[in-house]
Structure 1
Amino acid sequence: MILPGNDPATQPSFTLGNRVARATWGVVWLLLFRTSPRPAHAWRRALLRLFGARLGAHVHVYPGARIWAPWQLEIGDRVGVGDGATLYNMGPLRIGHDAVISQGSHLCGGTHDIHSHNFQLVARAIDIGPHAWVCADAFVGPGVRLAPGCVVGARSVVMKSIDEPWSVWAGHPAQRISARQREASP
């Protein structure tokens, strides 16, 4: 997918196949996904699956969500992805069951190698654990794993994995602020 050793000033960073797939998805997103009515979750799931996304049952991706590469996306059951969320999944992005990705949040799976002469593009996987919540306008960086039940507060920045389940994190950079009580299932 990423072409190593290229000159990003004069050469593409991605294979032709990847660029064609993203361009096609961009047209579908603009004409069919983005314009769909808010309650049309089944329609948006069908479009995402058509482009290779692996989605569980009762996934609600709202029409204003931006998804860079549906074929790199795996979402568990009963997950919500809010309007204005950006899933910049240059690498695999996995979202566990019963998780929430709130409006305006940004999950960024790409970065550049600052030690490379050409600032080589690098893609990293992001794993959001089950029952996790990435609150409004939060940023989750490349290679980050969020433990099950983890909450990332609004406008927080997470650049390192959080391995403590059922914990609450906030700030820039995100710091642990409390434990989260695990409620018994109904």
Structure 2
Amino acid sequence: MDKFENEQMKDYVTPVINLSKAPGERQAWGRPAIVVYLWSAIELLFIYNPWQISSAVRVAALRAFGARIGEGVLVRQRTRVKFPWNLSIGDNCWIGEGAWIHNQNRVDISNDVVISQETFITTGSHALAADMALITRPVIIEEGAWLATRSIVLGGVRVGRSAVISPNTVIPPNTTIPENSIVGLPMIQVSKKRFPYEDLGAK
């Protein structure tokens, strides 16, 4: 920043957004308030509750509130799901302990996907330079993908077929992870192919 810019910035006051006027509250609920409140109670008792050990009970509760869940799905303790009516899970998926699916928009999980412990998937963000209005984008996780422990996936992300997200990796909004890739720290990049091409019959 040069001297002229310094002079211009001297009297500049960084703005603060009044959150009491931020639009978007309840717009993403998708159900009447009574259903949302009832779901919050059911989630606490039957989904998140570490003393409730039955995956079948969790799956049944999620389905009862509109989640589309395939066969052979395991959902472990301390899982959280914001709105089950925005959730689709294919067959033979594993949802690890403490996973949090904050789905104010659609989250579609295909077959044979692993969501490991403490992974956070969120579809929501805010208009940070305007009025902090709620912005939501769907998250798509294709078949065979693995989101390793404590990874974070933000709105608009598509994780490709059989891709692996390494532990503690943050996938930025609107990112597409190529299929058959392993991505992770220190930056979002493809480190190698999961399955060598020669094993896939490539010439």
| TM superposition score category, shorter chain reference | 0.7 to 0.9
The answer to which of 172-181 and 69-78 deviates more is: 172-181
Distance in 1 separating the partners of 2:114 and 2:150: 13
Q: Encode CA deviations 1:134-155: one digit per residue, 9 max, x unaligned.
A: 0000000101001101100000
- Displacement of 1:12 in angstroms is 6.8
Aligned residue number for residue 13 of structure 2? none
Larger Rg: 2
- Displacement of 1:176 in angstroms is 1.3
Q: Which TM-score applies when normalising by structure 2?
A: 0.79
Pairing partner for 1:14 from 21, 26, 37? 26
Contact kept? 2:109, 2:142, Cα under 8 Å: yes
* More helix per residue: 2
1:51-66 alignment, distance < 5 Å = 51-66=65-80
The answer as to 2:81 corresponding to 1:67 is yes
Contact kept? 1:158, 1:173, Cα under 8 Å: no
Unaligned runs of at least 5 residues, structure 1: 1-6
- Displacement of 1:8 in angstroms is 4.6
Contact kept? 1:80, 1:99, Cα under 8 Å: yes
The answer as to 2:163 corresponding to 1:141 is no
SS in 2 for 1:83: coil
Contact kept? 1:146, 1:162, Cα under 8 Å: yes
Unaligned runs of at least 5 residues, structure 2: 1-17
How many percent identity over aligned positions? 27
The answer to which of 97-106 and 161-170 deviates more is: 161-170
Q: Which TM-score applies when normalising by structure 1?
A: 0.86
CA RMSD of aligned residues (A): 2.1
- Displacement of 1:22 in angstroms is 2.5
Contact kept? 1:157, 1:172, Cα under 8 Å: no
What is the aligned length? 176
Aligned residue number for residue 37 of structure 1? 52
Contact kept? 1:84, 1:105, Cα under 8 Å: yes
